[in-house]
Amino acid sequence: MNISALLLLYVALALGALCVVGIFSELRRRRFGPAHPEDRVFRCQKCGNVYTDDADVDRSRCTQCGKLNEPVEF
């Protein structure tokens, strides 16, 4: 093998190892990081209050005035 092939192999292996370490690091961060809450966003039609509620709720009562509201669609 010539020197340029050995150098290319060395650089390719080093970059491959760096990519593998980066992928495993990201997977570990996602597994141990805080989970994103599965909440729905609601905006009161009466008072304009913006609040969240559980994802399984179709209509939610406003925390300020008590009016039932539909979730905001983004």
Higher per-residue confidence, 42 vs 1: 42
For the chain, how many residues are written? 74
Per-domain boundaries in the chain: 1-35, 39-69
In the block, which residue shows the tokens 């925390």?
Answer: 63
Q: What is the pTM of this model?
A: 0.50
pLDDT digits (tens, 9 = 90+) for 16-31: 999 999 999 999 888 8
pLDDT digits (tens, 9 = 90+) for 31-63: 877 777 788 999 999 999 999 998 888 899 998
> What 3-state DSSP class applies to 59?
coil
What pLDDT score does 45 carry? Answer: 93
